Amino acid sequence: MRFWWFQDNIIVLINNFMDKTRKNMEETGWASVSAYDMDIHKAYQIKGTVEFKTWGSEVKRGKAMAQKIFEERGMRLPAKEAIILTPKEIYYLQPGPSAGKLVK
């Protein structure tokens, strides 16, 4: 289930059941996500700083997404908060000579 989206220069993640991951982000102030584009066969690791929001438009959108999933699948998701990831570093992940290198 997709519980994230791009918004301007940030990535918004919705926290439904994070525990250990949430604690790690709170302790370090950083997060890392990986993404793969099947159409162009490119993979990236995105590292950045995080902030937590328990109200606002991002949380409202997350709760609307959770409600839609409940209506479609009968699955309750709490959409507790929005985690705002501001990218600081992006690395190539696909196999080959660029793997692990910083995207310029």
Q: Which helix (H) or strand (E) holds 64?
A: helix 57-73
Per-residue pLDDT at 1: 54
Which one, of 56, 54, 40, 25, lies nearest residue 92 by Cα?
A: 40
Per-residue pLDDT at 46: 97
Per-residue pLDDT at 104: 86
Query: Cα–chain-centroid distance for residue 3?
Result: 8
Q: What is the pLDDT of residues 53-101, one digit of tens each?
A: 999 999 999 999 999 999 999 999 999 999 999 999 999 999 999 999 9
Beta strands in the chain (DSSP E): 4-7, 10-15, 30-37, 42-53, 81-92
Per-residue pLDDT at 3: 84
Domain ranges for the chain: 4-92
Q: What is the pLDDT of residues 2-60, one digit of tens each?
A: 689 999 999 999 999 999 999 999 999 999 999 999 999 999 999 999 999 999 999 99
Q: Which fold has domain 4-92?
A: Pnp Oxidase; Chain A (2.30.110)
φ/ψ (deg, to 5) at 51:
-135, 155
Which amino acid is it at 65?
M
Per-residue pLDDT at 21: 94
